[in-house]
Structure 1
Amino acid sequence: MNGDGAIKVAAIGDLHAQEDAQTSYRDLFGEVSREADVLVLAGDLTNLGKPKEAERLAEDLRACSIPVVGVLGNHDYESGSVEQVTATLRQAGVHLLDGQAMELMDVGFVGVKGFVGGFGARMLSSFGEPAIKAMVAESISEAMRLENAMRQVRARRTLVVLHYAPILETVLGEPPEIFPFLGSSRLGETIDRFKVSAVVHGHAHRGTYEGQTPGGAKVYNVAMHVAKPTGRPYALLEV
């Protein structure tokens, strides 16, 4: 923590831990512990949502000596074992948020997964087949859960943690055909109803690192493969 009360947050998304992979994140988590006050994980923590993958990641997280806050991503739901994945990561000490807010070091952390829907004037509307209406309803539900969580925050500074993008700017670099599946402006509209210090998300592996909501909130795409000013897989933010 700096003298002015700001804390350093290391943020990374899309680790895609695999049960049989040779890759270990232990050294990375050890490095982050020396560089930051809090580690934030922006979803897709596992590759296929398998309990064994969560166990592998939990083992690596033993090397992390700072608080860990995170949300799940779409990959963490793939195998229908999200409750086991969630339990394993929480037992490993991860503050896994799913429509909740919490406070650490005088900073409010708010987290939801988010959902698809598209951006701006091209955002999907609730019209037509029931399947489309169900998709839009899910997108609206995630935005409402984010709003309800934001209303719980009492801290002066707030970091919003998402998996899906809240703005178009940070998904640029991905194929335009898949933009509607990378996030939703409904999340950004909700964020702009509150005073927010920063927003982090993942999901768009080939997206752009930095953007902002129409209301001016800074947004950072911290997916692991997105180039960051640190030159490392994680972003370092002062909040």
Structure 2
Amino acid sequence: MNTSRRSVLGAALGGAVAASVGVSATPASAASWVLKWSPSAYTDGLNAFETVEDDRADSHPAGQPHIYPESEHWRFNMHMVDRDTMTDRQRQEVTGLRTPSGYLQWLPGQTWRVTYSMYIPSSLKATTTFTHIMQMKEPGSGSSPIVVQSLRRVDGAQTIELQLPISGIMVGRTSLDPLHDAWTDVDFQIKVGDGTSGSVRWILKKSGTTLIDKARTGVDTFLADRVRPKWGIYRSLGDTSGSLQDTHLLLRNFRGYQLL
């Protein structure tokens, strides 16, 4: 990211905290990130989330549960026989940020940030069609994704990318190879805004080394109602690269912050 873009986004987001993901602290007089969500897989389990979409078509009872806490992380299993309600795709996802006082609402004009670690095994490959492992959407069936973090084959190479589908904008893309069979830290920041009033920043780090740090301002990050995050595996069966197989995804250390 060039210096001017970084400075613009830094001002828009008020800087950041948590040096563990490599974002600079803000001056005391500026807005700051306030921790709103810090679930534990061990103690909260699936109650950390607003909803759980585990084989919602009941396509593979023998494989249930596909989503469950496992020690310090959450595990998402995907089998080749699994099918979503639309049978040309597969879905095992959780949605939302649940706290003891209710679900967190991401509304226009607000700025939110989620950090977490993900383990992508080598069996979870990039595909020629969509394989999403994080989405931001308006709640409700049939709504379009606002943000997607995806595993995509580009000219045969495996990549991970962040796109804004409603704006038709590619925020960034990098090689998936260094992420396989290792824990990767994710730092995602979003200002919820309609038209050109939104912004996003996407950072991936592995063992303290930044793999990608990209941002966009002046973008559309809102459809209606609110923005709700989703995590898990959501993929098309239309892949032509032979990359689909039984696989899983691990997530841990979720933290949710609001800029106040």
Whether TM exceeds 0.5 here: the answer is no
Name the structure with the higher helix share.
1
User: Larger relative contact order (C-alpha < 8 A, sep ≥ 6)?
Assistant: 2
Larger-Rg structure: 2
- TM-score normalised by L of structure 2: 0.30
- TM-score normalised by L of structure 1: 0.32
